[in-house]
C-alpha cells in the first residue's frame, strides 16, 4: 500500500506570496491532519480534516487554511507568507479521526520563505 504522498518536496517562496501544499493520504484513510515542524517550536498541530470538514484547528493565524476533497486528498494554503512560515509541513493520515487512530506521516514539504 502506498504511503502518504506530499507534493512538492521543496518550495522556495518570497514574502507576501501564497503557497498551496498537497497531500494524498493512504488509500482508505479518511482523516488528514497537518503539522508544522520547526527547530524552535517543534511539531505543532495545524488542523484536521475528516469527511471534507475541518474538525479541529490549532493556534495558527487565519493565513493558514486547508481543505479536503471527496477522495480524502487534502491541500493546505498559506497566504501572505512571512519569513517565520519557513518550516517542514507534514501531512498525516489515519483511518479514523486523528489522534487515537494511528497517524501515518508523509515526508513533508520543506517551505523556505525568503
Partner 1 sequence: QQQVKQSPQSLIVQKGGISIINCAYENTAFDYFPWYQQFPGKGPALLIAIRPDVSEKKEGRFTISFNKSAKQFSLHIMDSQPGDSATYFCAATDSSYKLIFGSGTRLLVRP
108 near partner 1 (CB under 8 A): yes
Does 45 bind partner 1 (CB under 8 A)? Our answer is: yes
Verify binding: residue 66, partner 1, rule CB under 8 A.
no
How many residues at the interface with partner 1, by CB under 8 A? Answer: 24
Cβ 48 vs Cβ 33: under 8 Å: yes
Nearest alpha-carbon partner for 3 in 114, 83, 103: 103
Residue of 29, 32, 48, 66 interacting with partner 1 (CB under 8 A):
48
18 versus 33: smaller Cβ distance to partner 1: 33
What span, in angstroms and rounded, lies between the C-alpha atoms of 33 and 89? Answer: 11
Cβ-proximal residues to 87 (8 Å cutoff; 6+ apart), any chain = 36, 37, 38, 111
Chain residues binding partner 1 by CB under 8 A are 4, 33, 35, 42-45, 48, 55-56, 58, 90, 92, 97-100, 102-108
Amino acid at each position: 500500500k502506498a504511503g502518504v504522498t506530499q507534493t512538492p518536496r521543496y518550495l522556495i517562496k518570497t514574502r507576501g506570496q501564497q503557497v498551496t501544499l498537497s497531500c494524498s493520504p493512504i488509500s482508505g484513510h479518511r482523516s488528514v491532519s497537518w503539522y508544522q515542524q520547526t527547530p524552535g517550536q517543534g511539531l505543532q498541530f495545524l488542523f484536521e480534516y475528516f469527511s471534507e470538514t475541518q474538525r479541529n484547528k490549532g493556534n495558527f493565524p487565519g493565513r493558514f487554511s486547508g481543505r479536503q476533497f471527496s477522495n480524502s486528498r487534502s491541500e493546505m494554503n498559506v497566504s501572505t507568507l512571512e519569513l517565520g512560515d519557513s518550516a517542514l509541513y507534514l501531512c498525516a493520515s489515519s483511518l479514523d479521526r486523528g489522534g487515537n487512530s494511528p497517524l501515518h506521516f508523509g515526508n513533508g514539504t520543506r517551505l523556505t520563505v525568503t
